[in-house]
Amino acid sequence: MSSNIPSDTHFSDEATPQDSVKDLVPKSGFGLHDEVWSEKQWFELIRTLVGYGIGTWQEFAALILGHLNPSQTGTSLASSEGFKRRYGKGNTMRIVMEWAYSQTGQCGDCGSRLELQADHIKGKAQFEDQLDADYIENMTLLCRRCNVIRRTSHKLGGQTYLTAESALMWILFVIKPRTLVDYCRLCRIYGMTMSDIRMQEAWAMAHWLSRNDPPLFGIEDDSKTHYDLIQWSSGSITRADVGTTLPNGAVRVYERVPGDHCLTFVAMGNDRRKKLYSYPMHWIALSTYDLGDLPPYALAIRYTPPDRKKGKPQRITLHAPANMTLLSHKLVAPDEKLVFQRADDLLGRERVEAPPSTNKGVLLSKSFQNLDFTLEIETVRTP
């Protein structure tokens, strides 16, 4: 995840997760993925949205009716240069409409009747003169989604049921992320590759619903809350509500940590290099969501966006200290600073101020890489 995601501002008139309606959407082992949802769960979702006044049946029905309308499937073809060239301007609309009426009215790939668009069976790119692709026998109806995921720019598309714009809301309503950072992580795990700004925009819904009466959403007020810090068998560290029962293999590293503290630690990777990390509490993933098959620490990840120019896919990597050796750790309060205390037979004990650390980690200087030195971290109150 890019580190430029701002920490979410909490407004005083907004609800926290504890204040909000817990069963906005029925939970029954759905996990993160919508493709395994039953018709009953979809029904319950819409019914609940109506029940809480998020929309009326009339509004939702109007939306569906609009998407059933095969708007412009004919005119988009009739107005294309290739069709006009082949059939003559006066004939094109009649030929196109005869074709349209003779169709089944369902997406050629998935069978949907919603958002149908005319699409070329044999793509334009396969023709030397692209206008030659425009002939009526080469046309089929596809829904918008199936049409879009055929494009080469959407290689990873179609692996889930919903489009990205719908999934943004599905994740918000169903998983109910408590922070914007976790919301972005959920979207990444879901498979979204668009820029963070899309999630930040969608997150506005969380703010709006948290002001509803009763509150339909809760946004974590990190700095006013305490957390237990948990380390999992993967090495990943997450935060959870104070006193949470831990599953096997998970260890409570700290209890009742104020949300304005930083977790600072030194960890060593497989290359035996030591790095210093500092995680503000609001940046540490919560492990309190129902993620189905995914482990509770699934959100302890960092995200690197895809490089579309170089054709590199997005990269999701686990946060340190996953798959690393955690050497030492300390909590740092806002009015504290970190120093290294270097123990050495020749030099005695020496204090060295810690370099500014980030959530990406800072490689320690050579003297601290030397394994003969004992590394300690201690916090010192500034005067």
Q: What residues numbered 152-181 form the site for Zn ion, per CB under 5 A? A: none
- As measured in angstroms, the least distance from the Cβ of 148 to Zn ion is 10
Largest CA distance in the chain: 96
State how far the Cα of 140 lies from the Cα of 380, in Å rounded to an integer.
Answer: 70
How many residues of this chain interact with Zn ion, rule: CB under 5 A? 6
State how far the Cα of 263 lies from the Cα of 237, in Å rounded to an integer.
Answer: 10
State how far the Cα of 179 lies from the Cα of 200, in Å rounded to an integer.
Answer: 11
- As measured in angstroms, the least distance from the Cβ of 139 to Zn ion is 15
Please, which residue, 68 or 333, has the CB nearer to Zn ion? 68
Tokens of 16: 């926290």
Identity (one letter) of the amino acid at 299?
L
The C-alpha torsion from 182 through 185 and 186 to 187, rounded to 10°, is 130
Please, which residue, 157 or 191, has the CB nearer to Zn ion? 157
Please, which residue, 24 or 107, has the CB nearer to Zn ion? 107
Site stretch for Zn ion (CB under 5 A), options 82-90, 116-124, 128-136, 143-151? 143-151
Other C-beta atoms lying within 10 Å of the C-beta of residue 272:
9
State how far the Cα of 383 lies from the Cα of 372, in Å rounded to an integer.
Answer: 32
Please, which residue, 85 or 154, has the CB nearer to Zn ion? 154
- As measured in angstroms, the least distance from the Cβ of 143 to Zn ion is 3
Q: What residues numbered 99-138 form the site for Zn ion, per CB under 5 A? A: 107, 109-110, 112
Other C-beta atoms lying within 10 Å of the C-beta of residue 128:
5
Contact string (CB under 5 A) for Zn ion, positions 56-95, x = contact: ----------------------------------------
State how far the Cα of 2 lies from the Cα of 24, in Å rounded to an integer.
Answer: 30
Using CB under 5 A as the binding rule, whether residue 143 contacts Zn ion is answered as yes
- As measured in angstroms, the least distance from the Cβ of 140 to Zn ion is 11
Residues that bind Zn ion (CB under 5 A): 107, 109-110, 112, 143, 146
